[in-house]
Amino acid sequence: MAIHKVLVTGANGQLGWELAQAAGSFPAFDFVFVDRNAMDLSNPNELEAIVTLFAPDAIINTAAYTAVDKAETETELAHTINAEAVAQLAKIAKHKNIPFITYSTDYVFNGNATSPYLTDTLLEPVNYYGQTKADGEQMAMAENPSTIIIRTSWVFSSHGNNFVKTMMRLMKDKDALNIVGDQKGRPTYAKDLALASIEILKALNEGKPIKGIYHYANKGETSWFDFAQKIKALAGLECNLTAITSDQFPTPAKRPNYSVLDTQKLENELGIEIPHWETALKQCIDQLI
C-alpha cells in the first residue's frame, strides 16, 4: 500500500518542527502532527487507540525523553517514553502493516572508539539516556523487525533547545566562555534529518527494502569547542572562547569522547548526499540572525 497519510509525533520538538516546515514541499504526503497533549508517550497503553483514530499509512516518532542529565534520576519516565512506548508503536505498526520510523542516538555507544561507529557496532550505552534508547531499539526490533531506526547526534535547529542557540545566547551575554574541546562528534541539522526521513518515505513508496538500523548526521566531524568557534564566526559575535577538558566540566550523565557515526549505509541505500555540518550550520544561523 502506498504511503500517503503520515502520523508524526513530537510536533514541538526540533525534528518534529522541521518536518512540519518541510511538509508543504511534499504534497504527495499528508502529514498529521501530534504533540504531547494529543499523544502522550508516557502512556504506552493508550497509543493504539490514538493511532487507530488517525488511521495513518506510516508513523514517524520524533518524540522522546531528551533531557540527558535528568534521565539519570528520572529513570522510569525516561524508560517508558524511550523504550516501552517505542516498542508499543513498533507493535502497533506491525499489526496495521504500516512502516514505522523512529530515532536513536550516538549515546548508545561507549564513546571510546577511534573510528566512526557502524550501524552494527556493539551497544554499550555511555549513560542512562543512551540505555533507554538502546532498550527502545532492541525492544522495537523484537516486536517488529521492519522498524526503521535512525541514530543521530548533536542535533540543532533554529527551533527548540540546542547547542547552537545556547551558544549564541551565552556569547551575546558573556565576554568569555569555556567549551569542552576533547569530545568529538557529527552535528546534525534537524532540517536535513527531516528531509532524509521524507526520502525514506519516498523510497518505501518505490518499493525499496528500507528497514533496520541506520545512521544520519551531517558530514564532517568536530569538537564542541570548534563547533562553538564556527557558531561565533557565522553569527558575527564577540566572545573569548577557551577549550577545556571533559574533566573540567562534570555533568550528571557521562558524555562520549568520540561519537562519530558512520552514515554510509543510509547514503548508499537512499542514494543521497549528506550536506557538510558547516553548510548546514550556516543555513540555520542565517535563520537566527
Ligand X SMILES: NC(=O)c1ccc[n+]([C@@H]2O[C@H](COP(=O)([O-])OP(=O)(O)OC[C@H]3O[C@@H](n4cnc5c(N)ncnc54)[C@H](OP(=O)(O)O)[C@@H]3O)[C@@H](O)[C@H]2O)c1
Cα–Cα nearest to 203, from 276, 118, 272: 272
Shorter beta-carbon distance to ligand X: residue 51 or 190 = 190
Which residues share a beta bridge with 61?
A: 9, 102
Strands (E), 80-147: 100-105
103 among known catalytic residues? no
For residue 241, how many other CB atoms are within 10 A of its CB?
17
Nearer to ligand X, 52 or 240 (CB): 52
Identified catalytic residue from 103, 129, 214, 258 = 129
Q: Quick one: which H or E segment has residue 6?
A: strand 5-9
Q: Give the residue with the Cβ less far from ligand X, 65 or 128.
A: 65
Residues of the shown chain interacting with ligand X in the complex, contacts defined by CB under 6 A: 10, 12-16, 35-36, 40-42, 62-66, 81, 103, 105, 152-155, 160, 190
User: What gap in Å lies between CA 219 and CA 279, rounded to an integer?
Assistant: 9
The candidate with the shortest Cα–Cα distance to 88, out of 122, 16, 34, 139, is 139
Residue closer to ligand X by CB (options 64, 98) is 64
Residue number, 166 or 242, with CB nearest to ligand X: 166
Which single residue brings its beta carbon nearest to ligand X?
13
Question: Residue 44 corresponds to which cell in the numbers above?
Answer: 504506552
CB of 162 to ligand X, least distance (A): 6
Three-state SS string over 136-202 comes to HHHHHHHHCCCCEEEEECCEECCCCCCHHHHHHHHHHHCCEEEEECCCEECCEEHHHHHHHHHHHHH
Task: List the catalytic residues.
Answer: 129
